[in-house]
Amino acid sequence: MAVTIPLNAEPYQQVKVPLSGVTITLTIQERTNGLYMDVAQNGTAVRAGILCQDRTWLVRSAYLGLPGDFAFMDTQGTSDPTYDGLNSRYILIYEAGENAD
C-alpha cells in the first residue's frame, strides 16, 4: 500500500517520516537542472543526489537496506517534478517492499 509523503512547495526542505518501523529523512533540493533528493535511514545515508523523475523509483536497490522505495507522480501529466508543484501537481509516494532488485 502506497503512502503519500506531505511536502511543501519550497526549493529546499528536509522531512523526517516514520515508515516501515524506521525513521527516514528526505532532503529535497531544486538545482538548476532538476529536483534532487537524498535519503537517510535512522540517520545513516542510503542514497544521495538522486535526480527525481516522474514515476521512477528513486532508491531502486534492496541491498541498501531501505524497507521500501519512493517515487514522484505527476497528477496532471508526465512531467518531472519541480519544487513549485510539490504536494499539489507532484506528489511523493512511498511503498513498502518496493525495490527493483
CB distance 2 to 95 below 8 Å: yes
One-letter amino acid for residue 33 of the chain: N
CB distance 86 to 9 below 8 Å: yes
Give the pLDDT score at 99: 62
pLDDT at 100 over 50: no
Give the pLDDT score at 79: 98
DSSP assignment of 10-36 equals -SEEEEEEEETTEEEEEEEEEETTEEE
* pLDDT digits 0-9 by tens, 17-42: 998 888 999 999 999 999 999 999 98
pTM of the model: 0.91
- In the chain, what's the furthest Cα-to-Cα distance? 35
Residue 67: pLDDT band (50, 70, 90) is: confident
